[in-house]
Structure 1
C-alpha cells in the first residue's frame, strides 16, 4: 500500500535526522495524499534550512502546473521531470521518433522555466531523467540531455541534475560503470551538471552498479532505505553507505541505530526487511557454522578492548557501530562446534571453559540440537550446563574441609555427603587437589586421577566467584570434567573434583 501522510512524515523526519540533504517527497500531480503531505511540510515550515525537497513529475502541462502549485512557498525545491527515451517505448507507448521524444522533454523544460514566475519565492532547481537510460542508445541519451540543457541553461553555480536511471537493470554493473564514464566524458558543459545515478535491482546488482558508477565519475546517487521500490526495488542507500563505512570512509549519514531505521522502513512501507539483508537483517552478524564460530571467538579474544583497527573473522564491521550487541553474533545449532558453545558460555554466562571441556560439553549440546532440529538458546544452553555439571541434587556434596600444609605436603580432611550419608575423607598429597583425590581413592576404592585443571574468577572485586575446572580419568576410561563454584578457590577446586567423580560413576 502507498504511504499515507503520517507515514510519509515519519519517513521524512528520519531521513532528515540521518543527514540526507535532498529528499524526494512525492509525486504531487499524481496523488492528492502526496500533494497534501508536501503542502503540510511547507505550511508547517518543517523543512530544515540545509535540506531541499524534490518532487517528481511527468512531462505534461497539467501535471507541471499542479506541481508548481504544490511547491509554492517552499524555500527550495528540485523539480524532477522525466520521459521515457528507449526504442521500445518510443515505438509501442508513444508512437514517436527520436525528434518527438526530444520535443516532449524540451517542451516540459520550457514550461517549467515559464512556471518559475508563479513561485518567485522558491529557489527552483531542475532534474531531468531520460527514463530507461540503460535501454536507450547512449548517443541519443546525450543528445536529449543536451537539448534540455539548452532550455534550462545550467551554470556551475546553478547546475542541472542529469539523472541516469537503470529503470530496468539490463546489463552488468561494470558495463553500467563504463556507460556512466562515457556519458560524463561526452556531455558538454560537465561543470554545469550534476551527474546522478538511479539504479534498480532487477539483476540483483544495484549496489555494485552504483559503486561502479561512483568510481566512473558520478556526483550523486538516488535510492531508498533498504531498497524498497518497484519490482525488485531501488538501490539501498544504507547498503552503499555501510560499504563505504566498512572501508573506513565516512558516509556522513547517521546509521548508528540501524534497527531503528529498519523499524521505520518496515512501518512506513508495510514490508519486512529480510533477515539476511546486508547490514540490517536479524541474521547478518550471526554465525551458525562451527569453524566460523571458533574463528570469531578467537578474534574477540585477540581484539584489544580499545582497538584502533577492527579485526574479527567473519564480521566485516563491529556490530556495535550500528547499534547491535554481540549477543546474536553466535547462535548454536547442529552445525555448530565447540567454539560457538564456548563463546556463548563465556559471553552470556561468564564461564571460560577449558578447550577439552568445550569439546565435551559441545557434544551434549549437539545431541540436543540434532534431536530438535533447531538452534539452542543461551538460556537453554545454561540449563543444560547446570543439569550436567551443577545439578541441584547431587550424589556427592562437600560440606566443609580443613587444609594443613607442612613441608610442601598437604593434608585435607573433608566432610562430604554421599547418597545422603555423611562421610569423612582424609588424604595427603602435593597440594589440596592431590590430597583430596588420594583421600577419595582410599574411601571409595577408585583409581581416580586428575588430568587437567583450570580456574578463573567470575565477576570482579568482592562479588567475584571462583570457578574451578577439573578433568579426571579412572583407569583407562574416558575423561570427565567437573566444575566447582565458591568464594574460595580451594573449596571450588574440591567441589569440581566431586562433580567429576560423580560424572565418572554415572
Structure 2
C-alpha cells in the first residue's frame, strides 16, 4: 500500500464556502424518481436482459410506482430500439409514466433517438457529453469552448427535430457527464448554455442532471457542488435539478441524500444499486431511509421479498444478506443483549402505543416491507441470549417461560448451537425445550389424580385438599390416598407413601394459559431443589390447570433424578 502517493484529488471545490444544506437535518419530501435499471443497470450486466425480460422488468417498475423510467439507448443497438418500439406499439406505457432515452450529442444518434419515440405520449430525451478535466485533456483533447459547442449543437438539434414530432410531449434533459471531475464554474457555464438554448418555462421545465459518473469526493463536497449549481443555474424555477450518483467510494446514498438537501429535485438510480463498477445509487435504500423518517417515498416496497426475487431473476445477480432493508439477515438479531432489547421493546410497544415504532435495534417494522417476526428477527445460535430463546418460545408456541428459568433454557440452546455450529430454528428450539422439560413422564408418572376439598372449618395450616392418585414408577403401579394443605402438597405427600426416596423442596410455581393454542391448554412451571440446593425445572401442560401443575412437578422430579435413578 505504498503506492498511495501516486493518487491526487481529482475533484474541484466550488468558489464559495457558505452553504445552506448544512443547516438542514432531514429530507422533507421525496424527489422525482427515475429508474435507470433498463439502461445503466442493464449495460452493466454480464449477460444483458433480452427483450422479454426487459418488458417484464418495465412492467414491474411501473407496479412499484416509478413514473419515469430510462428504457435505454435506442440508437446504440437493434435490441434497444426494438424494446422501445414494442413498449409503444403494444401500448405498454401507462399514461402517467414517462419513458426516458439517452443520446450522445451527435446528429445521426439524436435523429434515430427521436425516430424510436414516434407514437409515445410523453418522453424525456437525455442529452449528454463528457465535461471533466481528465476527459477533455486525455480523451477528447479539446478545450472548453469545443466541449461547450458539442453540447449546444446537440441542444439546438433537439429543438429542431422535436418540432417535427408534435404528437409527443417532450422533456429535455442535459448531463455534463463526469460532473464530479469537472470544475464547478465550467459545469455551470455549459449547463447554462444549454438552458439558454432550450428556453424552459415553469410550465415546461428542463432537467439538468449532475452525474457522479465516478464518485471522487466525500459526500459533503458533492453537496457543495450541487448547491453551487442550484443557486447559479439560469431559469432555476424552470429547471428540475437531477442527481445521478454512482458508488465508487461506497457513499452513493450519502451523496444523494446530501445532494437533495443541497437543492436536488430528482434522483436517477437503480434497484439495489446495480450499475457499472460499484453501481448506481440504490433507490431502495434511499426510499426506505425516507420512509423511516416519516416521509412518503412515493415508491411501494411493501413486498420487499418480491422486489429481491424480481431483481435477482432479471439480473442474475444476488442481493447481499446484509443490504439495508432487503437483505435476508438485516432484521436478524443473534446477540443476546440485542434480542433482550427487541423483545422488551416489542412488549412495551404492545402495552403503550402500537401506532408508533421505536423498537430498539429495529429502525423499521419488518412487517412494513413484507417480512415476518417469525424467523426474521430474533434468531438463535451460540451467540444468543436467554431473552431471545424465551421470546421465540413465547411468540411461536405460547409458553411464557418464567424469568428465573430463562437463563437455564438459554444456555442449553446456546450450548447445542455451539456444539453443532448451526443456527437453531424455532421448531428445533421448541422440540428441544419440550423433550427436556415438558410432560417428562419417565421413570415417574402420575396417570390419574382426583382432588377433593375439605370443609372451610379446617384451621389455618391444616390439610385442606385430599388426592386419590395412581402412580407408576419404573413400571410398578401404586394407588395412593393422601392429604395436603394444597394440591401440590397433597401430591408430594402421596409420593412419600411410595417405597421411593423423593427428597426435595419447592422453590417456585407459576402458571398461565397457552395463548396461541385455540384449545386453551394450560401450562405450569415448577422449580424444585434437591438436598444439595441444585434446582430443577419442570413444565406441565393439560387442559385442566390442576393437572398441568401435577405434570410440571412430575417433570421436575424426573429431571432431578436423571443423574441418580430413583431408589427404594
**Structure 2 length as normaliser, TM-score?**
0.87
User: What is the 5 A alignment of 1:56-205?
Assistant: 56-205=102-251
Structural RMSD (CA):
1.6
User: Which of 518, 522, 526 does residue 466 from structure 1 map onto?
Assistant: 522
Q: Could you say which residue in structure 1 is the equivalent of 2:283? A: 237
Distance 2:518 2:270 in 1: 52
Q: Is the 1:437–1:449 contact (alpha carbons within 8 Å) kept by the matching residues of 2?
A: no
1:397 counterpart = 2:452? no
User: Which of 491, 499, 503 does residue 436 from structure 1 map onto?
Assistant: 491
Distance 1:391 1:429 in 2: 23
User: Which of 310, 318, 322 does residue 365 from structure 2 map onto?
Assistant: 318
Q: Could you say which residue in structure 1 is the equivalent of 2:271? A: 225
- Aligned in 2, Cα 1:32/1:441: closer, same or farther, shift over 3 Å? farther
**Offset at residue 313 of structure 1 (A):** 1.1
Distance 2:447 2:528 in 1: 21
User: Which of 396, 409, 412 does residue 361 from structure 1 map onto?
Assistant: 409
Q: Is the 2:511–2:524 contact (alpha carbons within 8 Å) kept by the matching residues of 1?
A: yes
Distance 1:451 1:310 in 2: 39
**Offset at residue 480 of structure 1 (A):** 0.8
**Offset at residue 117 of structure 1 (A):** 3.3
**More deviation, 156-165/380-389:** 380-389
**Offset at residue 390 of structure 1 (A):** 3.3
Q: Which stretches in structure 2 are left out of the alignment for 5+ residues? A: 1-46, 563-568
Task: Provide, for residues 80-116 of structure 1, a one-character-per-residue CA deviation record: whole Å limited to 9, x for no partner.
Answer: 0111100111111111011111111111111111111
- Aligned in 2, Cα 1:166/1:441: closer, same or farther, shift over 3 Å? farther
User: What is the 5 A alignment of 1:228-307?
Assistant: 228-304=274-350, 307=354
1:35 counterpart = 2:81? yes
Tell me the SS of whatever aligns to 1:283: coil
Tell me the SS of whatever aligns to 1:470: strand
Tell me the SS of whatever aligns to 1:472: strand
Q: Is the 1:178–1:216 contact (alpha carbons within 8 Å) kept by the matching residues of 2?
A: yes
Q: Could you say which residue in structure 2 is the equivalent of 1:210? A: 256
**Offset at residue 463 of structure 1 (A):** 1.3
Q: Which runs of 4+ in 1 moved over 6 A?
A: none
Q: Is the 1:277–1:284 contact (alpha carbons within 8 Å) kept by the matching residues of 2?
A: yes
Structure scoring higher RCO (CA < 8 A, sep ≥ 6) equals 2
Q: Is the 2:441–2:554 contact (alpha carbons within 8 Å) kept by the matching residues of 1?
A: no
**More deviation, 154-163/373-382:** 373-382
- Aligned in 2, Cα 1:134/1:501: closer, same or farther, shift over 3 Å? same
Q: Could you say which residue in structure 1 is the equivalent of 2:55? A: 9
- Aligned in 2, Cα 1:360/1:392: closer, same or farther, shift over 3 Å? closer
Q: Could you say which residue in structure 2 is the equivalent of 1:329? A: 377
Distance 2:165 2:317 in 1: 37
Q: Is the 1:426–1:436 contact (alpha carbons within 8 Å) kept by the matching residues of 2?
A: no
Task: Provide, for residues 22-53 of structure 1, a one-character-per-residue CA deviation record: whole Å limited to 9, x for no partner.
Answer: 11111111122111111111101121111111
Task: Provide, for residues 256-289 of structure 1, a one-character-per-residue CA deviation record: whole Å limited to 9, x for no partner.
Answer: 1111111111111110111111000100111010
Distance 1:86 1:161 in 2: 20
Tell me the SS of whatever aligns to 2:552: helix
Distance 1:300 1:460 in 2: 17
**Offset at residue 72 of structure 1 (A):** 0.8
Q: Which stretches in structure 1 are left out of the alignment for 5+ residues? A: none
Distance 1:152 1:404 in 2: 96
Task: Provide, for residues 130-176 of structure 1, a one-character-per-residue CA deviation record: whole Å limited to 9, x for no partner.
Answer: 01111100000000001111211111111110000111111111121
1:49 counterpart = 2:99? no
**Offset at residue 460 of structure 1 (A):** 6.6
Distance 1:425 1:80 in 2: 92
1:490 counterpart = 2:546? yes
Distance 2:226 2:482 in 1: 83
User: Which of 465, 469, 472 does residue 417 from structure 1 map onto?
Assistant: 472
